[in-house]
Amino acid sequence: MTDLALKTGMAGSLRASLRLLGLALLVLLIVVLGRAANEQFAWVTRYPTAWIFPLSDWIATFFEWLVYDLRFFSGTGLEFSPRDVTRGFVSLLSYPLSFTESLFFSGFSDRMPALPWVTVVGLAFILGHWAGGWRAALTGGFAFLYLAVFGVWEASMQTFSLVIVAVPLVFLIGLLLGILMARYRRVESLVTPLFDIVQSMPPFAYMVPIVVLYGVGNVPAIVATAVFAVPPVARCVVLGLKGISQELIEAGLMMGCTPLQLLWKVKMPAARATLLVGLNQGIMQTLAMIVLASLIGAAGLGSELLTSLQSLRLGQALEQGIAIVVIAVALDRISRAYALKPPNNSQRARPVWQRHPHLLLAGLYMLISISLARFLPALEVLPAAQTLSTAAWWDAKIEWVTINWYDSVQAFRNFMLLEILIPVRDFFQSTPWVTFVALVALLGYRLGGWRLASLTGLLMLFPVVTGLWQQTMTTVYMIGSAALVCIVVGFMVGVMAAGSKRLSQGALTLCDFFQTFPSFIYLIPVVMLFRVSDLSAIIAVLLFAVVPMVRYTILGLRNVSPRLLETVRQQGATRWQSLVKVQLPIAMPEIMLGINQVIFMALFMVAITSLIGTQDLGAEINVARSGNETGRALVAGLCIAFLGIVADRLIAAWARRKKAELGLV
């Protein structure tokens, strides 16, 4: 019996080795044939201009027709254009925005000024206590106190006003789409690919058509935010509604619920926790996008941060960036605490003031604080002389680092660029497009069959036929370099932290903190140290995208059954053997999900890093944004989105295969 098992194992290993050898020979054959074709046919090296598909021109022509030529009810007194509709929507959305701006920073009139800073700080404290107790209360209160004390109150309230209007809009649209997707499979099959594209495409790409249709300013920024933030909300709604047990639904039907009653009385309460997680994601995505939307005229901290970066006032930029992080942490903690808060239905028979003591306290505090602020102006608007600023201190530290580290940093920069990055870039740019597309299709076939091979191959052909192959290869080189370092560093940190519960909690807390940083913030240290170069862009991507690798590595390793680990150790396995032979194989699907998120976050940073002088697809989008070239921006954005979708599909196929091998599905 033992000999039979040994022979079976040897045969299985031999088959696996032969398959691997065959795959390696096929890859080698594709590379050799590609190089040979490269020497014989010019179109293999450089795709002919005459063959380029003029998609960007067609898109630009379509938007010109849509904006300037298309008319509804032409020749009647009711004639209007699509632009009239979009500008009407802008006017409609400007009313709630005008109210929140008046409430928080501009005031309604001389007799009705904005809420004093001391009022907003106290309300944040009360809201935090209602949502999650003293910890959330202290987080909310101290966060808004920081904004007042450090002199960024007005800009912060401008940003906060935008968030307050955008979040309900984002959640409402996401909720409606999520309900339709959960109810109708056809709607889900149509909307899901659109979500994939939107979430893979840099926001700068679809800002251009939004500017063309809606103009610039705060309301178009809210529209761009909705496009960016709705998909994760809708996906959470779908997840929550589909995760409800069938027994609960059948119980609702047996009680005579109509479809509408079943939705609102049974499904929604049952999915409450997941829906509130969607709300939390909507808030965080909204805040991230509102900052980016400063490029199309959104006022507030994002606009001031961008101005400070462009003028290299790095100390002031860092201070403004910290203010954005403070708002993000406060909103994240309060919304997350509310999502975890269990519903309380036991007080319905009690009077209103006993059921809602926080609401009563908030009303009394508003009355007292506003009255005091009328007599003490410093409680209404903190004078500049009484605020603090760390900008000068940061500028001094930056200057010290620049002077004392200059030689070492420049030596490292030159070595990385000349010896590593530029040769890697040249390798990718010299790879024939036929070879690269064929290798991607082969990998798709190996992991998911002909269907996945066709999908990945066609998506990788898109940059070729649209004339953006060189920019795409530059993007692949930059994202690949950054992602490789992210994966290695994040994996090592995650493995070390996963060995201890205390270290895991500390690392996850740091991940939460760094994930609230706006993407612009990561440009500050790299510009300060490495100036403008590919190395600066790659390091910025690394700092931004390493977080999910750490997070998913820890979660995957910590989720391995302790009983299984104890059994393995009782059989004499060392800690290293337990990690390599048991924990890592079981946690590999989660780790691969971390790699997936690293790639998506790196692609998100492509357009951001173009602000410091890259020559990739992000730069293409940035140039198109500057000139309002809709077609050029969307085509470049689609190239980036398709790179993300290819990576996502390949990683998902590998994860499914690995789970099947481990018997986890």
Three-state secondary structure string covering 316-360? HHHHHHHHHHHHHHHHHHHHHHHHHCCCCCCCCCCCHHHHCHHHH
CA atoms within 13 A on the CB side of 361: 14
Q: Which domains does the chain have, with CATH numbers?
A: 395-430+466-662 (1.10.3720.10)
pLDDT tens string 96-124: 989 998 999 888 887 788 899 999 999 99
pLDDT tens string 567-576: 777 777 777 7
The pLDDT assigned to 25 comes to: 64
CA 77-78-79 angle, to 5 degrees, is: 95
How many of the other CB atoms lie within 10 Å of CB of 611?
21
Region of residue 531 (left: phi > 0; alpha: psi -120 to 50; beta: else): left
pLDDT averaged over 10-residue windows placed end to end, the chain, 665 residues? 48 56 63 60 71 88 85 76 83 89 85 89 92 89 91 89 90 91 88 84 83 85 88 86 82 81 83 80 82 82 81 80 85 81 62 75 91 86 84 83 82 86 84 84 86 92 90 88 88 86 83 73 76 81 85 83 77 77 79 82 80 79 83 90 88 78 61
Q: Which amino acid is at 220?
A: P
Q: CA 79 to CA 86: how far, in whole Å?
A: 15
Q: Are residues 291 and 324 in contact, defined by beta-carbon separation less than 8 angstroms?
A: yes
- Taking CA atoms, 611 is separated from 56, 273, 520, 555, in Å, by 22, 39, 10, 34
Q: CA 214 to CA 367: how far, in whole Å?
A: 39
How many of the other CB atoms lie within 10 Å of CB of 3?
7
The pLDDT assigned to 142 comes to: 93
Q: CA 481 to CA 421: how far, in whole Å?
A: 8
